[in-house]
Structure 1
Amino acid sequence: MNQQDARTSLDDIHRLQDRTREQIVRQSFALPRVVISALGLFIAFAAIDLPRPWNFAFLAVGMVLYAGVGIVYEHRASVCRKVTSQEALFHGGLLACIMVAFTIGRIAAFALFDLPPHGLLSQAAAGAIVVAVAYVAATPVNRSIMKSIVRQGGGAA
């Protein structure tokens, strides 16, 4: 192997690493995954104010949908890798932001629309709408944060 072949091989490796990193980001926040996850979040958070047997059932369905879509997408992913601590911290922060959005939506529903605290159309349902819309709307920001995490070397395949 001469120096030119080695340089060409190294350039190919860097090009393929960039393609792999782009695929990691693309599959992490694919549109169907984001929409189904938002639906799961909506179901789970809207169920909080329902009567006793229904709140647990819908909360479980929503959380299974939210977590299940992530598991299915990661299982079927074309690029598999270990989760890094930076990525786990990012997803933990994302869940904290989701809880803050729910709280803000619930308080706003009470203050602005005087929605009741229990029932089908309640403060929790309004907060769940805020969560679902915010989750979908924040996808470009989440993608860019994930891209920076992966580019820092935290997402090598």
Structure 2
Amino acid sequence: MNTHAINNTQKRNLVDSVESLDSFTMLSKALDASGLTPVLSTSGPYTFFAPNDEAFRKLPLGTLEDWLKPENKDELISVLKYHVLPGRASAADVGTMSRPKMMQGQSAVVTKEGDKIRIDGANLIGLDIASSNGVIHMIDAVIQPIEPATKH
């Protein structure tokens, strides 16, 4: 990962930070398709548990493609909001949490073993990437809420 790019993210909002890092091309596509870009660009602060491209590759074949279809936008929004914690939480802060309530409305499970921190089983692998409206923690899996989004 490009350390210079990470150091420059603190001047950018969460979305611009994600888009500036090579590890998040699939997440960038998902954010664009979801319509959440304006929210994560202007308000906050937020803590974004951002799955890298490898995390998306671990999903069952076709999952991301299905989420990107317009008819599945509600489910995509639900999944992405489940990766966002209201407020700015450093990795050290996250390590002290047990069941933080995510933007999506459900609580995730945080576990800490030694210096390893996990959220719903996903490892935090890139920590404390500062942005103007929050912080990004790269994770190695796409976490999903227990209840899918309901159609209105």
TM-score (norm 2): 0.29
Give the structure with higher Rg (CA). 1
The higher relative CO (CA closer than 8 Å, separation ≥ 6) is in: 1
TM normalised by structure 1 equals 0.28
Name the one with the larger strand percent: 2
